[in-house]
Amino acid sequence: MHYDASNPLIVQGDRSILVEVDNPRYAEARDALAPFAELEKSPEHIHTYRLTNLSLWNAAAAGMSAQAMLDVLDRYSKFPLPSNLAADIRETVSRYGRVKLERSPLQTSEGPPALRLVCEDVPLLEELARQPRLRDYLGKRLDRQSFLIEPGHRGVLKQALIAVGYPAEDLAGYTEGAALPIQLRNLTRSGLPFHVRDYQRDAADIFYAAGDVRGGSGVIVLPCGAGKTIVGIAVMALMQRSTLVLTTGITAVKQWRREILERTDLTEDQVAEYTGETKDIGPVTLATYQILTYRPDKSEEFPHFQLFDQRDWGLIIYDEVHLLPAPVFRVTAQIQARRRLGLTATLVREDGREADVFSLIGPKKYDVPWRELETKGWIAEATCAEVRVSMPEPLRMEYAVAEWRNKYRIASENPAKDDIVACLLERYSDSRVLIIGQYLKQLRLLRKRFNIPLITGQTNNSEREDLYDKFRKGEVRSLILSKVGNFALDLPDANVLIQVSGTFGSRQEEAQRLGRILRPKSSGEAAHFYTLVSRDTREQDFAHHRQLFLTEQGYSYRILDGAELLEDARAAAG
């Protein structure tokens, strides 16, 4: 192989990859790396990726071979690949699927079919059988290459296998679930043309994988605004089975219900809501994570987990799967015979449980780079800017002497940010603007100063929906949102977002918030995302981490000086 010093990658023996951002081939190299490497650091000029076991196994589960990964590294590397790397990647990738879960011809008891753990590598199977994490889940020895497995151990066994480095390929199949005829409409109920976009159809088809025992469960990764709900509805139409949809909140439930009724032939009595407000169960049931994880006393069980057994579900959809609460992981481990679809804009979890998503929901089945959809016009073109704002002198002293745990909030609530908000509201006076933040005191002060409606978790649902509706119609042109604005907002005309504070270094939150303004605009306008950050504080440190995910997707942040922004605004005004 002839290596070219003008290439953008430096591949190192510790599985890290350095990528030159200013290289002409950067964008194509980044997109080629994305299926099997994780972005770790993204300063201005050199980005660092890493080949983790999980990133390699996700790629393997999606059908990418070790050789295809090595070919990408070869193609874009400045130097010959480290001598150990090819063997290391091949070994790691080969671990996926060496152990398989299949249906067993034997039956352990009345109920679901028994399973068997199969491994043709007999010494490896002997080694695994002696692992403390695994042995309690293994039934009797069937033959040299397999053990009997109780159906109830299917999920915890997969968790244990990935923990010891041998992720199972689950070929045990699924219960069919109750039949539910569903047809997609060509015209929505509102009379508008409707068709599933090509990438949405591809995602649904790859998940469903008709006739392929490998199909049926896994995660679809698509940007916010790219229509993940439509992918879920398309999968429902392929499956034709009773479906349970789990979402992040009541607003998301309302949005799913609206979309299902608008785009399918299901009737209102077939689509039920199971929330804190109503607890109906129907052929399609929409529930919130909050109601599932509610319990009157921490010593008690979760009373609403019974929802998983209330019907013969053929499909369970986990919306925003990167936010799946830990208790729902537990019940998911027990329902591995149901098909499971995870929908998300990012597989990043701040609690580090990506491996549990892989083992309990399924591997990543489909992913499209954000920039690719932006180029094709399916999501809005976006510009991102970080505005650095100095703190007033008295506040600087308060910050300097504050306890470490209080510094972030002091910086986040910097009142000097309010003038930047005023400047941006003036600049985008003809646009639809969302202001979003973490701290209610800060948001209430903004509401008072600018006389803009504020929506928080305490805002009752009817008032919330009324304000969203007025925003869609243009009767209200700006909204202030607390963390409730992170998820499931169908506000397609919003094209400016001003983030005044956030949840420490949450990459997933940064992605969700940008997603609020990425729906394509009828006018073709670009989207503008501003993050206001107090200079020389912990908030600025966390901002680097928050931006990591978006940088991986191909977005770059301009760094703006708040004082210069205000000076330019004054000059333009006067």
CA distance 43 to 50: 15
In a 10 Å sphere around its CB, with 0-12 CB exposed, 13-18 middle and 19+ buried, how is residue 281 labelled? middle
Mean pLDDT computed over 336-353: 85
CA distance 310 to 3: 60
What φ, ψ does residue 527 adopt, rounded to 5°? -100, 145
Q: Helix H segments across 461-554?
A: 461-473, 507-515, 538-546, 548-552
Mean pLDDT computed over 274-281: 92
Q: Following CA atoms 530, 535, 541, 546 in sequence, which dihedral angle do they give, to the nearest 10 degrees?
A: -10
Q: Model confidence over 142-173: pLDDT tens digits?
A: 999 999 999 889 999 999 999 999 999 999 88
Q: Model confidence over 408-437: pLDDT tens digits?
A: 899 999 999 999 999 999 999 988 899 999
Q: Model confidence over 444-503: pLDDT tens digits?
A: 999 999 999 999 988 888 898 899 889 888 899 999 998 876 665 667 678 899 999 887
Q: Model confidence over 19-77: pLDDT tens digits?
A: 998 999 998 998 899 889 987 776 668 888 999 999 999 999 988 999 999 999 999 99
**198-368 against 374-573: fold identical:** yes
Domain 198-368: CATH superfamily is P-loop containing nucleotide triphosphate hydrolases (3.40.50.300)
Mean pLDDT computed over 115-127: 95
Residue 207: C-alpha distances to residues 98, 232, 343 (Å): 22, 10, 11
Name the nearest CA neighbour of 221 among 357, 369, 84, 323: 369
Which pLDDT score is estimated for 162? 94
Name the nearest CA neighbour of 438 among 533, 537, 536, 563: 533
Domain boundaries, the chain: 9-95, 100-170, 198-368, 374-573
% of the chain residues with pLDDT over 70: 91
Fold of 374-573: Rossmann fold (3.40.50)
The answer for residues whose C-beta is within 8 angstroms of residue 534's C-beta and 6 or more apart is 388, 389, 390, 391, 411, 412, 414, 416, 417, 540
Which pLDDT score is estimated for 383? 84
Mean pLDDT of the chain, nearest integer:
88
pLDDT-derived band of residue 213, with 50, 70 and 90 as boundaries?
low
Instruction: Using a cut of 0.85, tell me whether the model's pTM lies above it.
Output: no
Residue of higher predicted confidence among 341 and 520: 341
CA distance 17 to 41: 11
CB 312 within 8 A of CB 238: no
% of the chain residues with pLDDT over 90: 57
Sign of CA dihedral 354, 359, 361, 366: positive
pLDDT-derived band of residue 574, with 50, 70 and 90 as boundaries?
low
Residue 24: C-alpha distances to residues 28, 29, 34, 548, 554 (Å): 9, 10, 17, 21, 14
Q: How many residues does the chain have?
A: 574
Q: Is the pLDDT of residue 112 over 90?
A: no
Q: Is the pLDDT of residue 8 over 60?
A: yes
CA distance 147 to 191: 56
